[in-house]
A and B are shown apart, each in its own frame.
Chain A
Amino acid sequence: MPANRFNNFTNYGIGIGLRAPHYHHILTRKPVVDWFEIISENYMIDGGRPLRILDQILDQYKVVQHGVSMYFGSAEKLNREHLRRLKALVKRTKTPWLSDHLCWGSVDGRYTHDLLPMPYTFEAARVTAQKIREVQDFVEVPVVVENVSSYAEFHVSEMTEWEFLNEVVERADCGILLDVNNIYVSSQNHSFNPFDYVNSVPADRVAQIHIAGHSKYRKYILDTHDHPVIDPVWKIYARAIERIGHTATLLEWDDSIPSFDEVHDEALKANKFLASAALKKAG
Chain B
Amino acid sequence: MNLLAIQRRMARAVMTPLTRDEQMRPTAPGGGSMRAEAAKFIKPNDRLTSFERLEIYNRQYWFRVLSGFAEDFPGLRAVLGERKFDAVAKAYLTDCPSESFTLRNLGSRLEGWLRKHTKMLGDRAALAIDIARLEWADIDAFDGLAEPGLKQEDLARANPAKLRLRLQPYIHLLDLRYPVDDLLLEVRKDADELNVASNAFSERQKKKRVRQVAALNPAEIFLAVHRLDESVFFRRLEREEFAILSALASRKTLAKALDAAWIGSKISPENRQSRVQHWFQTWSSLGWFCHIEKNFKK
B219 to chain A, nearest CB (A): 30
Which residue in B6, B60, B98, B104 is a CB contact (below 8 Å) of A119? Answer: B6
Which residues of chain A come closer than 8 Å to B2, judged between CB atoms?
75, 123
Which residues of chain A come closer than 8 Å to B42, judged between CB atoms?
152-155
Interface contacts (Cβ under 8 Å), in number, total 130
Which residues of chain A come closer than 8 Å to B83, judged between CB atoms?
none
B103: Cβ under 8 A from any A Cβ: yes
Which residue in B41, B48, B64 is a CB contact (below 8 Å) of A219? Answer: B48
A191: Cβ under 8 A from any B Cβ: yes
A46: Cβ under 8 A from any B Cβ: yes
B47: Cβ under 8 A from any A Cβ: yes
A47 to chain B, nearest CB (A): 4
Q: Please determine whether A69 and B53 come into contact, CB atoms closer than 8 angstroms.
A: no
Q: Please determine whether B11 and A110 come into contact, CB atoms closer than 8 angstroms.
A: yes
Which residues of chain A come closer than 8 Å to B68, judged between CB atoms?
113
B97: Cβ under 8 A from any A Cβ: yes
B71: Cβ under 8 A from any A Cβ: no
Chain B 43-87 interface residues, beta-carbon cutoff 8 Å to A: 43, 45-48, 50, 52-54, 56-57, 60-61, 64-65, 68
Which residue of chain B has its CB nearest to the CB of A217? B56
Q: Please determine whether A46 and B14 come into contact, CB atoms closer than 8 angstroms.
A: no
Chain B 110-168 interface residues, beta-carbon cutoff 8 Å to A: 142-146
Q: Please determine whether A127 and B3 come into contact, CB atoms closer than 8 angstroms.
A: yes
Which residues of chain B come closer than 8 Å to A190, judged between CB atoms?
45
B294: Cβ under 8 A from any A Cβ: no
Q: Please determine whether A46 and B43 come into contact, CB atoms closer than 8 angstroms.
A: no
Chain B 10-45 interface residues, beta-carbon cutoff 8 Å to A: 10-11, 14-15, 40-43, 45
Q: Please determine whether A48 and B142 come into contact, CB atoms closer than 8 angstroms.
A: yes
Question: Would A111 and B43 be within 8 Å (CB), given that A75-B3, A116-B10 are in contact?
Answer: no
- With most chain A CB atoms within 10 A of its CB, the pick from B10, B41, B46, B227 is B10
Which residues of chain B come closer than 8 Å to A109, judged between CB atoms?
99
Which residue of chain A has its CB nearest to the CB of B4? A75
- Interchain CA distance A72-B54 in the complex, whole Å: 21
B281: Cβ under 8 A from any A Cβ: no
Q: Please determine whether B230 and A110 come into contact, CB atoms closer than 8 angstroms.
A: no
Question: Would A48 and B227 be within 8 Å (CB), given that A116-B10, A155-B41 are in contact?
Answer: yes
A52: Cβ under 8 A from any B Cβ: yes
Q: Please determine whether B102 and A46 come into contact, CB atoms closer than 8 angstroms.
A: no
Which residues of chain A come closer than 8 Å to B53, judged between CB atoms?
151-153
Q: Please determine whether B144 and A41 come into contact, CB atoms closer than 8 angstroms.
A: no
Which residues of chain B come closer than 8 Å to A127, judged between CB atoms?
3
- Interchain CA distance A157-B98 in the complex, whole Å: 28
Chain A 81-135 interface residues, beta-carbon cutoff 8 Å to B: 81-82, 104, 106-114, 116, 119, 121, 123-124, 127
B34 to chain A, nearest CB (A): 14
- Interchain CA distance A133-B40 in the complex, whole Å: 32
Which residues of chain B come closer than 8 Å to A222, judged between CB atoms?
56
Q: Please determine whether A114 and B47 come into contact, CB atoms closer than 8 angstroms.
A: no
Which residue in B11, B145, B231 is a CB contact (below 8 Å) of A49? Answer: B231
Which residues of chain B come closer than 8 Å to A256, judged between CB atoms?
none
A220: Cβ under 8 A from any B Cβ: yes
Q: Assuming A49-B230, A127-B3, A156-B1, what are 20 further A-B pairs, CB within 8 angstroms?
A: A44-B101, A47-B146, A49-B231, A75-B3, A112-B57, A114-B14, A114-B61, A114-B64, A152-B56, A152-B57, A153-B53, A154-B41, A154-B42, A155-B43, A156-B41, A191-B45, A191-B46, A219-B47, A220-B47, A222-B56
17 A-B pairs in the complex with CB atoms less than 8 angstroms apart:
A41-B101, A45-B143, A46-B144, A47-B143, A47-B144, A48-B227, A48-B230, A69-B101, A110-B15, A116-B14, A119-B3, A127-B3, A155-B41, A156-B1, A219-B52, A220-B47, A220-B48
Top 4 nearest A-B pairs (CB, nearest first) are A46-B145, A48-B143, A49-B230, A75-B4
| Interface of B toward A, CB cutoff 8 Å | 1-4, 6-8, 10-11, 14-15, 40-43, 45-48, 50, 52-54, 56-57, 60-61, 64-65, 68, 97-104, 142-146, 169-170, 227, 230-231
